[in-house]
Amino acid sequence: MVTSDWIALSALIVSVGTAIFTLSWRWISLRRADVTAFLHWLPARAYISVDGCDDVSVGYHLVLWNRGPARARLVDVEVHFMDGEEAETLRLTDVAPGELPLAQLDPGARYPIPWALGEDGLARSDERRFVLTLSWTDSRSRSVQVPIRRGNVGS
């Protein structure tokens, strides 16, 4: 074999390797969910019932969204308020026992939860910045942190 044959063979090997890598990466990415969350403001406020308190009006909803092509299973969310280096974990008021983690969140599906925190729905109501920890299972278990910020304080 001459030098040009070796060069052609090397190019063929690189091309086949690249094609195999691309196809395998595409196959893996089609099996993954991509869950994120955002705050959505509704001008028509929702009213949630809180045990032992008056109803709380809520303008914001936390929306869990699966942007990926695969189904996400056991989707869970935790809300944290960061006070310097310390994190305070807050409970979403209008989440029923056993509602989270969600059994599944299909591709493209969105799941809104009224944005009320703490036992009375008013915990940290004057704060704007929070960090969410989202966890789910798809072809593997994943967990991400998403910083969020409210625009209207007191809503």
Summarize pLDDT for 56-86 with one digit per residue, the tens.
Answer: 888 899 999 999 998 999 999 999 999 888 8
User: Is 138 part of any domain?
Assistant: yes
User: Is 45 part of any domain?
Assistant: yes
Question: Do 61 and 118 belong together in one domain?
Answer: yes
Instruction: Print the domain residue range for 48.
Output: 33-149
User: Is 117 part of any domain?
Assistant: yes
User: Is 95 part of any domain?
Assistant: yes
Which pTM value belongs to this model?
Answer: 0.78
Question: Do 55 and 18 belong together in one domain?
Answer: no
Question: Do 11 and 53 belong together in one domain?
Answer: no
Whose tokens are 């278990």? That residue is 141
Structure tokens at 9: 């063979």
Question: Do 47 and 69 belong together in one domain?
Answer: yes
3-state SS assignment for residue 108: coil
Question: Do 39 and 15 belong together in one domain?
Answer: no
Structure tokens at 85: 């280096």
Distance CA 78, CA 100 (A): 10
Q: How many residues does the chain have?
A: 155
Reference 35, options 150, 149, 130, 141; nearest CA is: 141
Distance CA 73, CA 66 (A): 10
The β-bridge partners of 134 are 77, 144
Question: Do 79 and 49 belong together in one domain?
Answer: yes
User: Is 1 part of any domain?
Assistant: yes
- 23 pLDDT above the threshold of 90: no
Distance CA 134, CA 149 (A): 16
User: Is 154 part of any domain?
Assistant: no
User: Is 155 part of any domain?
Assistant: no
- Provide the pLDDT confidence category of residue 30 given band limits of 50, 70 and 90: low
Distance CA 24, CA 71 (A): 19
